[in-house]
């Protein structure tokens, strides 16, 4: 490999300019490699995500309305109506409510999707997941299959149905 020399006042002096052409060539090759390799590395499971829309909820007397929020020191506070309730009492109340619904329907075989009571959970934005997850787990242990979340649409938005 030869070195370029230039003339400065009649003397041969090495050039101090850097040839950037090889650097640009290498960077373009790396860019092409990354553009091809990134979609191969990022693998996702194909799923169909639900379309989101705010739906008006139907309030039935047999539904259980719960409010969950984080308490002081990382504790969880669960309210049924306006009264605070602990997880053991919540489990007992939920089991009794479900047994009552089964008795009114004339047996578990007569309980349909429409007559099955639901659980509606209102969770504060800053509530830790362990609080809401624990409440869902308690209600599933009691036998409730339908657990939903109550949200509030942002101000100025319209309510649409799917």
Residues 91-150: pLDDT tens digits?
999 999 888 888 888 887 887 777 788 898 888 778 888 998 999 999 999 988 888 887
Residue 52 forms part of a structural domain: no
pLDDT confidence of residue 90: 92
Residue 76 forms part of a structural domain: yes
Q: Which domain holds residue 115?
A: 64-149
Distances in Å between the Cα of 53 and the Cα atoms of 35, 56, 114, 116, 153 are: 36, 10, 21, 24, 9
Residue 41 forms part of a structural domain: no
Is the pTM for the entire model greater than 0.85?
no
Residue 55, token pair as written in the block: 């739906």
| 97 phi, psi to nearest 5 deg | -65, -40
Task: Provide the CATH number for the domain around residue 87.
Answer: 3.30.420.270
Residue 92 forms part of a structural domain: yes
Residue 90 forms part of a structural domain: yes
Residue 96 forms part of a structural domain: yes
Q: How many domains does the chain have?
A: 1
């Amino acid at each position: 490999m030869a070195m370029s020399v230039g003339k400065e006042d009649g003397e041969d002096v090495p050039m101090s300019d850097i040839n950037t052409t090889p650097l640009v060539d290498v960077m373009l090759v790396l860019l092409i490699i990354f553009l091809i390799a990134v979609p191969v590395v990022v693998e996702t499971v194909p799923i169909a995500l639900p379309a989101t829309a705010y739906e008006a909820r139907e309030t039935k007397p047999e539904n259980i309305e719960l409010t969950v929020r984080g308490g002081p020191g990382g504790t969880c506070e669960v309210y049924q109506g306006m009264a605070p309730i602990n997880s053991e009492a919540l489990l007992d109340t939920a089991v009794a409510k479900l047994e009552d619904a089964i008795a009114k329907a004339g047996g578990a075989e007569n309980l349909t999707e429409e007559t099955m009571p639901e659980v509606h959970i209102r969770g504060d934005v800053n509530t830790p997941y362990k609080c809401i997850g624990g409440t869902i787990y308690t209600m599933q242990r009691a036998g409730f299959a339908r657990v939903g979340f109550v949200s509030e649409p942002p101000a100025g938005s319209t309510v649409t149905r799917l």
